[in-house]
Structure 1
Amino acid sequence: MSDNKFSLVELIQIFGQYCNNIIINIKHLQEHYQRTGVKRIRGVRNENGELLQPWLTTEYIDNAEYVDMGEFQFSRNAATINMLVKRRVKLAKFEDQTPTIEVAGLLVNDLNTFNNYTIVSDGKINVKSLQVKISNKKAFDLLKQKGILDAEEFDFRSEYTIQLDNLPLVAANSRYSSIDGLFNELAEIKVLTSIICAHLKKESDVFIEAQLDEFKKHYLSKNTYINFPTTNEYTDISEALANGTIESKLSYKIDIGSQDILNLSKLPSANKFLNRMYRLYDEETGEIIIKPSFEMTFNQNVAVRHRLLSSRTKITKVDELMKPIFDDFLGLEQNGIVGGILQKVGADSLAQLLQDKQTGKQIDKEEMVAALTVANKKLEQYAENIYQDKISPLVFYIGSTGLLPDQMEVKAMTADEAAAKYPNLQFSKDEQEGTFFAVGDSIISIYAKTEYYSKLISVGSSVHSMLN
């Protein structure tokens, strides 16, 4: 790999800078696209395996040849880059195509759908080229200077082919910032986000319960995203593998962890941890709630205490990480950890409400739901910035080159060696076959997972839709 060869990652940075000045030939992309996952189709199957279609469907408002360049996203734990392309659609009845104009007092006749196209999959180019038009001369000149375009003169009418498969994925001299401390920061954010999401599962800061019921009936989430039920195209995976409808591949995952917790997947959901470590009970009757969930804590009569653990319960490093956050949020211990996280991400309103609640002040439910919703967005954005700035580029480099960056030259360990040195680590079946690197106070894991994909060439899968 040449030191001065322009890389795909650098090209995508230019695409991001000039995304409003570049349009893509979507028909060309669809015609040459190979799925990297299993195709899913709308509907649910009954007991006989018959497909039952949703009563609504979507139609493209435009049948455009060109669409705006999508947003590029790096995977958090694989050498994969996706491009989300936005298209305008409308809801209509499946049977007679009658348009659905309004749901729960909201106009839904102009929606956006996002189609997900995998540009790089596990370190391999999946889209060989893009056909584009460029409306900004500065963007044209920059791409020409980098050797991406061979046209002499800028012409906004012309379609240019941008080859992706002749570029190195990353620059040979790439350097990456330290990841020390990032896992613990992300783990704390994930725990708090999980608690907040558990509270908000059936709550909205905008719509009432009857409106949410109408949304559900029309396949809309509380955030007005289209949420059609989907199922696999096949009914029997063995048969689908045998006849070539789907094929399997090894996908290499790169995870960041600590010397105590291998990766974030080891953290259980908020409600699962609540059930493991706490008891919810009725303050008036003392009756224990059998299946506790955070939604129940909105009820003024519900109180919480620590669960009496048996001598056989083993307290893990995951428990030690999560319990202080739960204790502080639930008001069982005032250690300041939740307030510190919330203030760091700018979610001061929730921090204040929780502080008020701990002093015995009655908190209005609507005010709490609004504060939780704002905090959730800020926490997720803060975590996303860490991934996109510091973790995903490193993950992509490792996954596409098979190497750690030069400044991270450390000895590789097997799972047995890592377990002997760091006895608190827990390994899944796939992770037991992996390779591990101790980098500062972090552990980088590289392991393979078997994944399946639909063999036939077809258009990108719609991942979500939302109102304008």
Structure 2
Amino acid sequence: MDGDNMASNQISLLELIQIFAEYRNNIIINIKHLQEDYQRTSIKRIKGVRNENGELLQPWLQTEYIDNAEYVGMGKFQFNRNTATINMLVKRQVKLTKFEDQTPTLEVAGLMVNNLNSFNNYTIVSDGKINVKSLKIKISSKKAFDLLKEKGVVDAKDFDFNAEYSIQLDNLPLVAFDSCYSSIDGLFYQLAEIKVLASIIAAHLKKESNVFIAAQLDEFQKHYLSKNIYINFPTTNEYTDVNQALLNGTLDSRLSYKIEIGSQEILNLSKLHSANKFLNRMYRLYDKQTEEIIIKPSFEMVFNENLTVRHRLLSSRTKITKVDEFIKPIFDDFLGLEQNGIVVGILTKVGADSLAQLLEDKQTGKQISKEEMVAALTAANTKIEQYTEKIYQDKISPLVFYIGCTRLLPDKMEAKAMTAGEVAAKYPDLQFSKDEQKGTFFAVGDSIISIYAKTEYYSKLISVGIDNQIV
């Protein structure tokens, strides 16, 4: 992006997206126009699994759109958390039918499933580059029309709810030159604590539901439905050999620039271990009566009242990292091995009071039923997701988008660029992946901002079927 374009008085694409998001319930979009020439930015996945011979086995069910509409509701906009990418998630109503004869499936496990949703993901901006040149929309709100007209993206004189307006995206600057951004001091450790606890909660709930029993979950799985009643077909790549796909033009590659926020001890959130991996690394599950060690423990087993947990005796070869030192107090507190108040503090901050109270009751010896715990864990998981999303939406994603579009830090963030070698010499606890070793780093307050390139593959052919099911 050149400086003249950034400095123009035009509305930025980022501001336009914010207007769309605010008025999305008053805007419908021409889906057929969007799909015409749409270029994928990721690898196309097809429904099914491959057998040992590489043959594709189709699921026994499929989806069919209930509507064949030209217009659909404006999708929900999502900012990628570590690239300058904006996706629009469009919801469509579908029904399940048998693959062989298109017989509809109306009920599964006592639940009507004749009106499900699929979620189609369209990338509007990909790594700081426009991927959708224009959108054709209709507007039902005069207030939204007047605002878009004032910003210069609608050139009609009078509001007409029957009219179709063409909104050009490719002639707008991606970000405003004078954009202001919040301080990121302290955000990394706040997000890291929440991520560790979220991973613990998700591991508990992997096969649990606060609504359905196990037999119902099995039925959902047979019908390719998640426990949240989202469509969840098995998928595989449309090719069997990546090198052949690159040679014949099915796939192409591009450099994607990742922007990560970290600390002076932990480079980014991806360095944190998953809950079950850390449980295996630092703890042992035992049978209370026989003292038998449980091989490959997981948090799903913690619901078993006959099991107890202890610290693992570590060998002299085990290297304790800053990541381990950060995660361990959270685990110790959650598992009841140490009462340091970290977990209740996190839960109180995000508004998950029911789980906070249950954990405090459990530490005093009160018996908590599995049903109570699953319900509290499920509610806490929702609160954590909402809290985390707000931090990214308000403070991190706009900054990531700006850096990804301009390859610059905002003016008020004055910091000298460093190589991986330079930042490692200054902060020796940091660990780098192969791609990160080639990156550029900035020390901003108590945070480290990383910018590095990573090779990504995408399906080269234009395609109109962009089904990314949410699970």
TM-score category (smaller protein): over 0.9
Asked whether 1:104 is paired with 2:126, we answer no
Whole-angstrom CA distance in 2 between matches of 1:303 and 1:318: 25
Matched, 1:37 2:42: yes
The letter of the residue matching 2:9 is: N
- The alignment partner of 1:362 has SS state of coil
Deviation at 1:151, TM superposition (A): 1.4
Match of 1:353 among 353, 358, 367: 358
- 2-side partners of 1:326 and 1:378: how far apart? 20
> Match for 2:259: what amino acid?
I
In structure 1, the partner of 2:218 is 213
Q: Is the aligned partner of 1:226 residue 2:231?
A: yes
**Structure 1, unaligned runs of 5 or more:** none
Within 5 Å, which residues of 2 pair with 1:77-96?
Answer: 77-96=82-101
2: CA distance, partners of 1:257 / 1:371: 30
What SS class does the counterpart of residue 338 from structure 2 fall into? coil
Tell me, what secondary structure is at the counterpart of 2:102? coil
Which SS does the other structure have where 1:413 is aligned?
Answer: coil
2:292 counterpart (287, 294, 308):
287
Matches within 5 A, 1:238-277: 238-277=243-282
In the alignment, which residue of structure 2 is the partner of 1:4?
Answer: 9
CA distance in 2, matches of 1:450, 1:94: 37
Question: Per-residue deviation at 1:464?
Answer: 2.1
Asked if the contact 1:2–1:172 (Cα under 8 Å) also holds between the matched residues in 2, the reply is yes
1:61 aligns with 2:52: no
Q: Does the 8 Å CA contact 1:116/1:460 hold for their aligned counterparts?
A: no
Partner of 1:19: 24
Q: Aligned letter for 2:33?
A: H
Query: Which residue of the partner structure matches residue 430 of structure 2?
Result: 425
After superposition, the CA RMSD in angstroms is 0.9
What is the CA deviation profile of residues 179-204 of structure 1, one whole-angstrom value per residue up to 9, with x for unaligned ones? 00000000000000001111111110
Mapped partners of 2:72, 2:469: distance in 1: 17
* 1:387-430 per-position Cα deviation (integer Å, ceiling 9, x unaligned): 11100000000000111000002100000001000000000000
Deviating more after overlay: 16-25 vs 425-434: 16-25
One-letter code of the match for 2:414? E
Cα distance in structure 2, aligned partners of 1:234 and 1:290:
37
Superposed, 1:60-209 pairs within 5 Å as 60-209=65-214
SS, match of residue 96 in structure 2: strand
The code of the aligned residue for 1:381 comes to Q
Is the 2:117–2:231 Cα contact (8 Å) retained in structure 1?
A: no
Does the 8 Å CA contact 1:35/1:460 hold for their aligned counterparts? Answer: no
Indicate the residue corresponding to 1:461 in structure 2: 466
CA positional deviation for 1:32: 2.2
The 5 A counterparts of 1:313-328 are 313-328=318-333
| Aligned residue number for residue 380 of structure 2 | 375
Deviations 1:421-445 (A, max 9, x none): 0000000000000000000000000
Aligned residues with identical type, % of pairs? 81
Q: Which amino acid aligns with 1:357?
A: K
TM-superposed CA distance for 1:460, in Å, is: 5.1
Matched residue of 1:197: which SS? Answer: helix
For 1:403-422, list aligned pairs within 5 A.
403-422=408-427
Structure 2 CA distance for aligned equivalents of residues 11 and 246 of structure 1: 32
Question: What does the per-residue CA deviation read over 1:358-382, in whole Å, with 9 as the maximum and x for residues that have no partner?
Answer: 1222110000000000011111111
> Following TM superposition, by how much is the alpha carbon of 1:461 offset from its aligned partner in structure 2, in angstroms?
2.2
Secondary structure at the residue paired with 1:408? coil
Aligned AA (1:345): V
The amino acid across from 2:16 in the alignment is L
Structure 1 residue 303: deviation in Å? 0.4
Is contact 1:75-1:392 (8 Å) kept? Answer: yes
Q: Figure out how many residues of one structure are paired with residues of the other and give that number.
A: 466
Choose which of 222, 237, 251 in structure 1 pairs with 2:242. Answer: 237
Distance in 2 (CA, whole Å) between partners of 1:248 and 1:227 is 27
Once the two structures are superposed, residues 47-78 of structure 1 have per-residue CA deviations (whole angstroms, 9 ceiling, x without a partner) of 11111000000000000000010011111000
How far the C-alpha of 1:4 sits from its partner, in A, is 2.5
- CA 1:460/1:72 → structure 2, altered by over 3 Å: closer, same or farther? farther
CA distance in 1, matches of 2:421, 2:204: 39
Matched residues in 2 for 1:6 and 1:465: separation? Answer: 32
- 1:313 deviation in Å? 1.5
Q: Distance in 2 between matches of 1:155 and 1:319?
A: 60
Report how far residue 139 of structure 1 moved: 1.2
Distance of 2:148 and 2:389 partners within structure 1: 28
Distance in 1, matches of 2:291 and 2:470, equals 45
Secondary structure (helix, strand or coil) at the match of 1:272 reads helix
Tell whether 2:368 aligns with 1:363.
Answer: yes
Instruction: Structure 2: state its 5+ residue gaps.
Output: 1-5
Q: Which moved more, 1:117-126 or 1:314-323?
A: 314-323
CA–CA distance in structure 1, aligned partners of residues 370 and 292 of structure 2: 23
CA distance in 2, matches of 1:463, 1:156: 31
Deviation at 1:465, TM superposition (A): 5.4
Aligned mates of 2:140, 2:357 — CA distance in 1: 48
- 2:206 and 2:298 map into 1 onto residues whose CA distance is 10
Looking at structure 2, the residues matched to 443 and 333 of structure 1 have their Cα atoms a distance apart, in angstroms, of 31
